[in-house]
């Protein structure tokens, strides 16, 4: 099937980025969130990002206007009635995702596909909670979506080949590189990345190095563009913890046990950049380590 109109649930950092790349590729987009306040923030973010592209001469002012015009927003699921594909891009919480999928299935046309941007949760299990598991697939974008080229595509046990082929074609249309990942906890990227971040938190917890020392060591010693603790703040510590819990529970291996310090930061509401405080304090002109 040819995907023309795309609906996205969740106007946070990931959902907003997915909306942008879909609209830039010429697709009509419906972006949903629970509050008008979040949608207003998303529109401002889109305006700012696209304005930067105009300044860099990557797009023209006319193209910017056309892209923004393709993105409609709302708080009602009725907007999905004309969508060929719905992408769930909500927080990494399985129960919340189940509730969203139930609402989507009630309004989506029978022929429409559903994709989840989950970074760790079983696609088979999520698909089983829909009325169309054969039309359900994992489509895990990387953050920030407009910049990162990779999209992990994950089949559930019931996903049919036509669904997978349509999503792969869309991924290529968006200018992304699709990589097939099997339906194991955290797939490929986060199966490798999050244990490294968790180990960096353990290194801090055990006093081996400070926040600054750990991040500088990994930036300068391994040529990582961001240190692991800085990256954790960028991802969101709640998301990091959620992925580690999925790995720990799904693979039943103690090497995936979340660091107690990561748990404490999340309990404190120190979730990283999005809350202004995590392993760094972002309240000033320059981030300052909190330990």
Three-state SS for 173-217 is: HCCCEEEEECCCCCCCHHHHHHHHHHHHHHHHHCCCCCHHHHHHH
Task: Tell me whether residue 208 is in a domain.
Answer: yes
Question: Total structural domains in the chain?
Answer: 2
209 backbone φψ class: left, alpha, beta (φ>0; ψ -120 to 50): beta
Query: Is residue 75 in some structural domain?
Result: yes
Considering the domain architecture, whether residues 65 and 168 belong to the same structural domain is answered as: yes
152 is catalytic: yes
143 and 277 belong to one structural domain: no
Banded model confidence at residue 61, pLDDT cuts 50, 70, 90: very high
Report the CATH number that the domain containing residue 210 is assigned in CATH.
Answer: 1.10.1040.10
Catalytic residue, from 88, 92, 152, 230: name it: 152
How high is the pLDDT of residue 117?
97
Q: Is 143 a catalytic residue?
A: no
Per-residue pLDDT of 112-122, as tens digits, reads 999 999 999 99
Tell me the two tokens of residue 247. 């790995």
Does pLDDT of 2 surpass 90? no
Is 119 among the catalytic positions? yes
Of the residues 119, 120, 122, 198, only one is catalytic, namely 119
CATH code for the domain of 22: 3.40.50.720
Which listed residue (92, 122, 140, 230) is catalytic? 140
Tokens matching residue 64: 């910017």
pLDDT tens digit sequence for 109-151? 999 999 999 999 999 999 999 999 999 999 999 999 999 999 9
* 158-182 pLDDT tens trace: 999 999 999 999 999 999 999 999 9
Spatial separation of the C-alpha atoms in residues 127 and 141, rounded to whole Å: 18
- Residue span of the structural domain in which 164 resides: 5-181
pTM for this entry = 0.90
Answer yes or no: do 159 and 39 share one domain: yes
- Which of 149, 164, 181 terminates a domain? The answer is 181
Residues 227 and 137 in one domain: no
Please say if 140 is a catalytic residue: yes
> Of 116, 117, 120, 190, which is the active-site residue?
190
């Amino acid at each position: 099937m040819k995907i023309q109109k795309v609906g996205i649930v969740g106007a946070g950092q990931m959902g907003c980025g997915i909306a942008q790349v879909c609209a830039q590729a010429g697709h009509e987009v419906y972006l949903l969130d629970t509050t008008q306040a979040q949608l207003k923030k998303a529109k401002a973010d889109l305006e700012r990002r696209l304005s930067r592209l105009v300044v860099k001469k990557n797009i023209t002012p006319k193209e910017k206007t056309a892209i923004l015009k393709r993105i409609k927003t709302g708080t009602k699921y009725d907007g999905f009635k004309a969508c060929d594909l719905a992408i769930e891009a909500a927080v990494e919480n399985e129960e919340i995702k189940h509730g969203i999928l139930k609402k989507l299935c009630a309004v989506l046309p029978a022929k429409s596909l559903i994709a989840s941007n989950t970074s760790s949760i079983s696609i088979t299990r999520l698909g089983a909670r829909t009325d169309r598991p054969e039309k359900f697939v994992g489509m895990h974008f990387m953050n920030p979506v407009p910049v990162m080229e990779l999209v992990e595509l994950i089949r559930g046990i019931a996903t049919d080949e036509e669904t997978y082929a349509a999503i792969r074609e869309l991924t290529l249309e968006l200018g992304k590189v699709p990589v097939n990942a099997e339906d194991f906890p955290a797939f490929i990227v986060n199966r490798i990345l999050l244990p490294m971040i968790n180990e960096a938190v353990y290194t801090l917890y055990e006093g081996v190095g400070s926040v600054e020392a750990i991040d500088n060591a990994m930036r300068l010693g391994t040529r990582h563009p961001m240190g692991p603790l800085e990256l954790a703040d960028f991802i969101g510590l709640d998301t990091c913890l959620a992925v580690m819990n999925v790995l720990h529970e799904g693979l039943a291996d103690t090497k995936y046990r979340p660091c107690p310090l990561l748990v404490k930061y999340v309990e404190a509401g120190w979730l990283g950049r999005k809350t202004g405080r995590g392993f760094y304090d972002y309240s000033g002109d320059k981030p300052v380590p909190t330990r």
